[in-house]
A and B are shown apart, each in its own frame.
Chain A
Amino acid sequence: DIQMTQSPSSLSASVGDRVIITCRASQFISSHLHWYQQKPGKAPRVLIFAASSLQSGVPSRFSGTGSGTDFTLTISSLQPEDYATYYCQQSYSSPRTFGQGTKVEIK
């Protein structure tokens, strides 16, 4: 199975800050990497698919980069509605696997 490791596990940031979350795969996954946002009590929603493509309706302050084994999710200017938990997920092979999540909290 491909292991997905996110860092950090949690972070505190202020409105307007630039936030970067990283995700590392235990083996090559090309660009088969997606990012989801989950708020408490809600289902996840996709932000970025195929490493760098912005899902329709997602604000442009979200961006994704990377390929191979190392990926990043960047929020260019954190907004109050961005406080949530973020997950990466690989779709290179089965079983599909998620990172453990990164909780973004208010500083």
Chain B
Amino acid sequence: QVQLVQSGAEVKKPGASVKVSCKASGYTFTSHYITWVRQAPGQGLEWMGWISGYNGDTTYEQKFRGRVTMTTDASTSTVSMELRSLRSADTAVYYCARVSGFTDVFDFWGQGTMVTVSS
């Protein structure tokens, strides 16, 4: 069965960086994009961008360009998302999700990783 397992919670100081990983299993990794969505406490869902599991091509939401980098390691079926220059507004749960190749729906999700930015 398809599974996405994310790395554990992080606490960072303002200005620092965080790297969250997402290990995929149960499907052909190179056949799908992985997307990242975040959710601030009590707020809605915010799309950050995505990366191809095939060739590492990325698309980032304009709001995050220059601060975010998504990478992929096909040998371990793992995608990582690094966010730099953290500020308190980046405190959120970060989710990875698989993108369906047919309809672009986010059909399987990781369990989420809480990132807290606090001095």
Contact = CB atoms under 8 A, between A and B. Distances in A.
Interface of A: 32, 34, 36, 38, 43-46, 49-50, 53, 55, 87, 89, 91, 94-101
Contact of B45 (A45, A55, A87, A94): A87
Contacts, number: 56
A3 B11 CA distance: 32
Interface of B: 35, 37, 44-47, 59, 61-62, 95, 97, 100, 103-107, 109-112
Given A43-B111, A94-B59, A95-B62, A50 B44 contact: no
B107 A46 contact: yes
Given A97-B47, A101-B44, A91 B105 contact: yes
Given A43-B110, A43-B111, A95-B61, A50 B103 contact: yes
Contacts of B47: 95-98
Contact of A98 (B46, B59, B104): B46
